[in-house]
Structure 1
Amino acid sequence: MPISAPCPREPPSVPGMVLTFTLCLLGSSALLLGTASGAQAARCRSPLVPYGRVYPVRYYYNRRDTVTFTCKPGYTLQGPHSSTCGADSKWNPPLPQCKKEVTCPRPPSIANGLHSGQSSDKFSRGVTVSYSCKKGFELLGNVSIACMGSGLWSRPLPRCQAIGCQVPEVQNGKVYNVQSTYRAGDTLHFDCLPGYAAEDTYEARCQPGGTWDPPVLVCQRVRPCPMPPEVANGNHNGHGKAGFTMGMSVRYSCNPGYILVGNAAVSCRASGNWSQPRPRCEEVTCPRPPSIANGLHSGQSSDKFSRGVTVSYSCKKGFELLGNVSIACTDSGLWSRPLPRCQAIGCQVPEVQNGKVYNVQSTYRAGDTLHFSCDASYTTEDTYEARCQPGGTWDPPVLVCQRGECGCCCCFPRAALPGRGSLRAGTGDEAGI
């Protein structure tokens, strides 16, 4: 028995339409649909997005295949994040674009204001930052600005304006040229009623935040001042005057040995009080006395010395004092001059046993060098010179020429003079042999 048998073919009713085939299998039939000769399934080419990436990557995509898009660093996606291959072999929705990323720098600062963009140095397109003002100022203009597609911040910028002042009240006085409002920095002038006066000034300045400086404007009833206050160790020139009224002043001076500290003059104020603070007279003192090279003074135990006090100077061993033995603290608070100085003690002409000194001087200062030579048949063991030391001693301390030991019939003196070479006793070089 055959497994299958061909079914009768049914001609297509319309040319180009789908052909129908019937397969009879074990008494059953199945309907197979095929594509008419010359027809192809819908496919889409790989989408091209400059500066972008597509996933998954293929050469061709079948109908209903979906891809997703991303952009390379520095670019942002404009358009859909995904698209599907349609029956018309086109992507739907249309492909997006990768545009170069636009950023703005840190927002501009404004005087007396702050903005909310302090935490970053780069801002994406469309980001906004808001502004606020410091205490005493109010914001005028846009509260916020935005980063635009051009990489610039929107304009105009807001600004912070100092809060103005209201007209102040002047006790027992009046304001000149009254204004409805006063801006920060404006100066207001006022005057007092008859019999009244201001203690310090007749004007006030508007401060940021709406306050005045001085904060309270008061005209007080004019009263006479009593006798100016006395100061210890000093006096003033107001004695003998009958009375003191507003604006009058007196000057203070100090007794000898004292110096004035503070304002020398005080004035009578409208309230009947003298201006403060009054001066004082302090005793004249000198600082620690100056030090001198290689010397000491008797004022080491204190840092402050009264007028007239003296200190004496002395020198270290080997030095002698030249000038004033002592100096005194003067009325000006300075030490008297000139200061003494310590000079190294000089040396006397030394004796040279069996020799003589060249270029003899009456005195030798510390550091001077002396040259000597030895008599005939005598020589020195070490050197033909000596140096004067502080304190009046020579180095070497003793200058001796000893009898020379020669292997010949006679010996010649050995000398070392400035500009001449040393002569060795007992050689023929001295005689030119």
Structure 2
Amino acid sequence: MIECGQCSWRNGLPLVPNSRKVNVTYLKTYSDGQAYGFYDIACDPGYSLDSTIGGRITCLKSGNWSNPLPVCRSMGACPISSLFEFIRTAVGIWINQSTNFIYTNGVDDNHALGGSNITVQCFNGYINVGGPLTIICTQTNTWTLYPRCIPISTSTSKITTVGNSLRCRITDDTWKFTNGYISNTKNILVYNDNTAAGFIMISCEPGYLIDNISQGVFKCNNGTWSPRPYCSITARCSLSVLENFFNNDSQSTGIRIVVQRILANPNENGLALVGSWISFACTTDYTLLNGNLNVSCHANGQWSSFPKCTVESIQGISGPCSWKDDLLTVPNSHKSNTTNLKVFTNGNAYGYYDIECNQGYKLDPTVGARITCLQSGNWSKPLPVCRSMGACLMSDLFEFIQTAEGMRINQSLTFVFTNSITDDRALGGSNITVQCLNGYINVGGPLLIICTESSVWTPYPRCIPISTSTLALTSKSTTISHHILMRCRVTNDTWKFTNGYISNTKNILVYDDNTAAGFIMISCEPGYLIDNISQGVFKCFIMISCEPGYLIDNISQGVFKCNNGTWSPRPYCSISARCSLSLMKIFLNDVSRVAGLQIVSQGVSANPNEDDLVLIGSYILFACKNRYINTDGNLNVTCKADGKWTNFPICIMNSTTKV
């Protein structure tokens, strides 16, 4: 039975917009206006639960309902009129009526709820060169990119014309692929005599897998088509297995759903696609005994093992557990928060402890950081996992640096970390900042090169001489005259922007007489904002962007433009607000405030030369420990635009009188 206080419900139970009550077994209401226990809420269609708060509302010992209340956030609402306009005007497209799922809230029939989708197909003789054929309403209130079906004979290609004898014969069936579609036509050329040269790429619909022989490539080789790609059905997982787990109290007691992503084909009842998953959490007073809190549909059509949560162990009641040879070592981590761990000389241990991951690794939030001695005398399973944040080849970076032209390294902004064992690899998060030399501009990736979680460096920048920069403008342009009186004078300082850099050069043309026409875009460095006058536009014109932590001015919007021989107001990057890191450290070091908290994940951004300051958008995601509940603030603490942290959470012990 759950321990609780008594709370008033004279004005009704706490209401959460766009939700309904579920799991009211432990909620008791009486005619005197008092209530005891707790209940959960589930969000209505078109809304999803904020996982940082959870779905439980509890009557606390203080007589107050737990706060903050759960939140059901909109999954999006897309205008149906824009979808119908696309369908009405699209050429070569028809709707698959059997896969048409448009939902509304019953009040506003002009908008479709998030997750609504409609599937279209291209007519025979047409191929899709746009977005996916399944159009979905997203959480950002927009439809996914619309598909675009064009006649095969008008598809463009980068390949050159070849003789008739080397082409392949095509028919209407050539472009049909069961459970698949053409995803890339850039390298195919179709002739009016029903022949083709080059190749196309084939992708499979969800729930199907491309064959290993073709790898999705359908190619014309000297007049003969390569083996035809085909899509094989992948395994499916049974949804009834999930339902049986949820309906079995002995299995699902002490467990709640945090977030889920179930993939399915609309015409397949009771089946989930490979890659579907549900993320669970143990409820208050419970801890994970075995199984995994992240249950996934595997490639063999089986769900991973379901979790089992049991009442959390307490020293003096649970255990003891064996501590021989310190068997609970988690690779790439170190122990922390061992206050509640007691180890004795006889090899027994009681209580629990947490782990922290080493540099270059991050905690798997679906498992958590805690290792607990259970009532059974076993340590909780599975153990925490520290996953690599990536490890990028140093040789790749050095090769780029040695061969790159017009570029130099900013030594004060170089932060490359290794694990001291394999110095040939840089840990995830390592970064190096380069700059283009005077007379050069960047037309490649960002000047800040970062080692990503996927173990690859971000796209490398490419500095080219300004005089060789290319431009979409031509002599036929009707908007810009190439007469010398209409151009702007350029010097070495023209392309320099304090705390900013040139982010777009597609519309600038530089002449040998040190004049230019068009525009560039300017972006700001981190911590700076573009000015309001230029809005980053510098026309003749170039686009200027700001480095992280800086914002382009609102006037230029990052555009630096040449207007009839005169430069527009010069874009500039203003420093954006910062949040105090010491304030966060004070909070984290206050035992009275963080005893019931643990860090789930974090994303803290900072400029290397700024001590004790973090950039806007930095965040730390907390969770209340077992047997604790959040009573104030938000579990997702974020650095806001005003330089202030959102309210810190307070998790208190959920111990009260029994119902």
TM over 0.5: no
Larger radius of gyration: 1
Relative to total residues, which structure has the larger helix share, 1 or 2? 2
After TM superposition, the score normalised by the length of structure 1 is: 0.24
